[in-house]
C-alpha cells in the first residue's frame, strides 16, 4: 500500500510541476545573471581602455591644457580636447545602453509575470533575447567578445 502511494505521489513531488511563471522567471534570472557577469568583464576592459586614452591626452599636454580658458573664449568641444577618450566613452556608453535595455526588458517581463499575462511575458522574453544578441554583436565588433 505504501509502495502504491509513493508511486503515485513521488513523480509529482520530484517534478514540482513548475508553472509558466516559474519557467519565465528562471529564464529571465539566467539572462540577468549572465548579463551582469558580461557587463562586469566588458566594463572593466573598457574603463581601463578609457583611462589609458585619458593618460595619452594628458601626456600630450597642450590639447588638454586650454581647459582653463578665459571667460570670453568659445567653449572647447570635448572631442577637440581628447578625441581618443570621447571615442572610447562612446563605445562604453553604447555597451551600457544595451545592458540597461536588457535589464529594463527583464523588469518589464517580471511585471508581465506578475500581471499573469503569458503572451505579454513571452513578448518581453523575446525582446530580452533579441537585446542579448545585439549585445553579443557589439561585444564582437568592440573586441570585448574575446575576453569573455
131 part of the interface to another protein, by CB under 8 A: no
Question: What's the min distance (Å) between Cβ of 145 and another protein?
Answer: 20
- Assess 55 for contact with another protein (CB under 8 A): yes
Per-residue interface string for the shown chain with another protein, residues 8-27, x marking contact by CB under 8 A: xx--xx--xxx---x--xx-
Cα–Cα distances in angstroms (integers) from residue 74 to residues 8, 21, 33, 69, 143, in the given order: 82, 57, 46, 9, 37
Q: How many CB atoms lie within 10 A of CB 113?
A: 22
Tell whether the torsion through CA atoms of 115, 117, 122 and 124 is positive or negative: negative
DSSP character at residue 62: T
- C-alpha cell read off for 64: 588638454
Residue 123 interacts with another protein (CB under 8 A): yes or no = no
Contact 92, 50 (CB under 8 A): yes
H-assigned helices in the chain = 2-15, 20-60, 78-81, 83-115, 118-141
Segment contacting another protein by CB under 8 A, of 56-64, 115-123, 124-132, 140-148: 56-64
Q: Which among 32-40, 123-131, 139-147 is the span making contact with another protein, rule CB under 8 A? A: 32-40
Q: Closest separation between CB of residue 122 and another protein, Å?
A: 17
- Of 57, 87, 94, 129, the one binding another protein by CB under 8 A: 57
Distance CA 117, CA 68 (A): 57
> Does residue 36 bind another protein (CB under 8 A)?
yes
Binding residues vs another protein (CB under 8 A) = 1, 4-5, 8-9, 12-13, 16-18, 22, 25-26, 28-29, 32, 36, 39, 43, 47, 50-51, 53-55, 57-58, 64-69, 75-78, 80-82, 85, 88-89, 92-93, 96, 99-100, 103-104, 106-107, 110-111
Amino acid at each position: 500500500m505504501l509502495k502504491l502511494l509513493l508511486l503515485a505521489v513521488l513523480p509529482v513531488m520530484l517534478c514540482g510541476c513548475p508553472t509558466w511563471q516559474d519557467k519565465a522567471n528562471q529564464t529571465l534570472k539566467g539572462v540577468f545573471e549572465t548579463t551582469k557577469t558580461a557587463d562586469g568583464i566588458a566594463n572593466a576592459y573598457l574603463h581601463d581602455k578609457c583611462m589609458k586614452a585619458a593618460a595619452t591626452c594628458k601626456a600630450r599636454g597642450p590639447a588638454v591644457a586650454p581647459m582653463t580658458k578665459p571667460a570670453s573664449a568659445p567653449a572647447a568641444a570635448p572631442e577637440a580636447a581628447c578625441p581618443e577618450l570621447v571615442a572610447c566613452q562612446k563605445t562604453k556608453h553604447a555597451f551600457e545602453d544595451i545592458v540597461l535595455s536588457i535589464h529594463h526588458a527583464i523588469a518589464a517581463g517580471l511585471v508581465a509575470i506578475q500581471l499573469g499575462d503569458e503572451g505579454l511575458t513571452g513578448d518581453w522574453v523575446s525582446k530580452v533575447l533579441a537585446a542579448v544578441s545585439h549585445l553579443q554583436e557589439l561585444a564582437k565588433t568592440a573586441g570585448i567578445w574575446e575576453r569573455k
